[in-house]
Structure 1
Amino acid sequence: MRHGEFHHPRLVRVYDAECPWSRDDDWFLALVDETPAARVLDLGCGTGRLALAMAAAGHTVTGVDPAGASLAAARAKPGADRVTWIEGTSAVLPDRSSDVAVLTSHVAQFFVDDAEWARTLADLARALVPGGRLAFDSRDPADRRWERWNPVDSRRRITLPGGEVVRAWTEVTAVEGGTVAFTHHYLFGDGEELLSSATLRFRTEDELRRSLRAAGFAVERIHGGWSGEPVGRGDGEFLVLARRY
């Protein structure tokens, strides 16, 4: 199944258990908090971990995601009534409705096609007020993270609420032209195995900067790690902060 961990209810539970609050959430929340009582757009909000925290911090939050199963999980969490949840893509965003927009958990890499990425950035520019901020993370291709996505190094055990243990591993199936295709394997205690496949785009820093300029954004800064390290000396990331003209 394509993107099964976002669309299949059983895998959504696994995704939620495997991806608790971490330092990337701290980074995004601190950035959003720089704009008091902001109207925040969380595009690709998934099961709502960060959206809920931003709402609890006093921001007006809209979470948008195309995966209904992920949004169902988000809506079932405590505090979910503080967030406006929308099933859809960036095309549904109202004009000039947000002060800050975030794309977290490497959502930016799911826009593999350059035209799709350009449309998404244009929608985000349209949805932000003049001077509004955009923040997202994308893996630095120079770090070659995908080389560690193999059935040995990626093997892990995920404990679900209630104690069920799921065994999981990842295998890369293709690397070509800046894209990496892979499949996650999930083996449940009852013997069921579910697969989730995806393709990610690893854009260079120059490609990201050019695409942002073309969409009407000025890049404020790009870090290489969650502690503010320069590119190439951090965590193998591009942490991008841009501002709409």
Structure 2
Amino acid sequence: MLSDAEVAALHDLLNPWDPEHHPADAFHHRLVMAAGAVLDVGCGTGAMLHRARDAGHRGVLAGIDPNPAYLARARRRDAIEWVLGTAAATPWEQEFELAVMTGHAFQCLVEDGEIRAGLAGVRAALREGGRFAFETRHPQAHAWESWIPERAREVVDAAGRVLRVSHEVESVVDGVVTFTETVTDASGAAVHYERQVLRFLGPEVLNRLLREAGFRLDEQYGDWHGGPLTPGSREIVTVARRG
């Protein structure tokens, strides 16, 4: 089986942070580079903040994530504050002008109570008027319908192993999608297995929860190029401001 460190390295292989070629990464990168103090909520392996430092960001950068193996990989780069924890338990008070949550990580907050607690933690970390940028998949696009074994991806890891990564949906109930990720080696043997649960929020519910948490909507788009949010949009790209 893959070690936790190998799973973290595999995540970077599957999800390279590349603002030059990925519109989602470019969107967040522009916001980060324009802000003096930035918090990455659910920072994972820290790729976004690493890239910001490489690009010349000289302000305050901090990342928080609940996964110790991912955070260990993030800590390969110093001059950035790394904290083990969750959005609901951020240890900062009004220290950042921007908080970001990339990679659809917001959808890992499933219950209304989790979302409210996460938003409260982010709001507490932001200065008055600070902004929170994040994205969720629009539920009307049914993104989970493409999470099928037939669309598996193959990568070659640092050890030269060919790994096959596939997904399969177990259930879709009231906007909550439960699915599995299976990693197999060249022989077909499973070397990693994980069950994940994501919440697909429509814009009405999402914006209500933001208002209740003390945020006001600054910008909201249906794609990464500033297109309008419509029922046919695949993304809900949101920038909310602490009220």
Question: 1:13 corresponds to which residue?
Answer: 9
2: CA distance, partners of 1:127 / 1:11:
30
Instruction: State whether structure 2 residue 186 is matched by structure 1 residue 167.
Output: no
Distance 1:195 1:110 in 2: 18
Of 50, 70, 77, the match for 2:48: 50
Check conservation: 2:148, 2:169, Cα contact below 8 A.
Answer: yes
Equivalent residues of 1:29, 1:54 under 8 A apart: yes
The answer as to whether partners of 2:229 and 2:236 remain within 8 angstroms in 1 is yes
Counting aligned pairs with the same residue, the percent is 34
CA distance in 1, matches of 2:59, 2:158: 29
Map 1:63-212; keep pairs closer than 5 Å: 63-76=63-76, 80-90=77-87, 91-152=89-150, 154-189=151-186, 191-212=189-210
RMSD after superposition: 1.9
Distance in 1 between the 2:161 and 2:23 partners? Answer: 26
Closer, same or farther in 2 for the Cα pair 1:234/1:123, shift >3 Å?
A: same
The unaligned stretches of length 5 or more in structure 2 are none
67-76 or 85-94, which deviates more: 85-94
Report the secondary structure of 2:228's partner residue.
coil
Q: Secondary structure at the match of 1:138?
A: strand
CA contact (8 A) 2:161 2:186 kept: yes
Q: Secondary structure at the match of 1:46?
A: coil
1:234, distance to aligned residue in structure 2 (A) = 7.8
**Secondary structure, aligned partner of 2:48:** helix
TM-score (norm: length of structure 1): 0.90
TM-score when scaled to structure 2? Answer: 0.91
Q: Which runs of 4+ in 1 moved over 4 A?
A: none
* Matched position secondary structure for 2:78: helix
SS of 1:82's equivalent in the other structure is coil
Question: Contact between 2:38 and 2:61, CA under 8 Å: does it hold in 1?
Answer: yes
- Listed one character per residue, the Cα deviations across residues 28-50 of structure 1 (whole Å, up to 9, x for unaligned) are 01122333xx1111010000110
The unaligned stretches of length 5 or more in structure 1 are none
